[in-house]
A = this chain, B = another copy of it.
Amino acid sequence: MARPRKFSPELAIDAAMHTFWSNGFHGAPFDLLVKKTGASRHGLYQEFGDKDRLLLFSLQHYEKTVLGELVEELHRDEAALPELRHFFHRIAQIARYDSNGAGCLICNTQLEMPEQGPVHDHIGRFFERLRTTFLRCLERARHKGQLEDGKDVNALSHYLVGLVHSISANAQSNPSDEAYEAYVEIALSLLS
Q: State which of B152, B156, B162, B178 has its C-beta within 8 Å of the C-beta of A166.
A: B162
Q: A110 an interface residue at 8 Å Cβ cutoff?
A: yes
In the bound complex, residues from chain B placing their C-beta under 8 Å from that of A169 are 107, 111, 165-166, 168-169
How many residues of chain A get a CB closer than 8 Å to chain B's CBs?
36
> Does A124 touch B at the CB level, under 8 Å?
yes
Max chain B CB contacts within 10 Å: which of A168, A175, A182? A182
A82 to chain B, nearest CB (A): 19
Q: Are A178 and B158 in contact (CB under 8 A)?
A: yes
Bound CA–CA A159/B174 (angstroms): 10
**Is A190 within 8 A of B186, CB to CB?**
yes
Complex CA distance for A111 and B173, rounded to whole angstroms:
7
In the complex, the count of this chain's copies comes to 2
**In the complex, chain B residues whose CB is within 8 Å of the CB of A175:** 124, 127-128
- A contact face: mostly helix, strand, loop, or mixed: helix
In the complex, what distance in Å separates the CA atom of A182 from the CA atom of B190?
14
Within 8 A of B (CB), among A145-176: 152, 154-156, 158-159, 161-163, 165-166, 168-170, 172-175
- 9 nearest interchain CB pairs? A162-B183, A166-B166, A158-B179, A155-B182, A169-B169, A158-B182, A159-B186, A165-B169, A162-B170
Residues of A within 8 A of B (CB): 26, 107-108, 110-111, 124, 127-128, 152, 154-156, 158-159, 161-163, 165-166, 168-170, 172-175, 178-180, 182-183, 185-187, 189-190
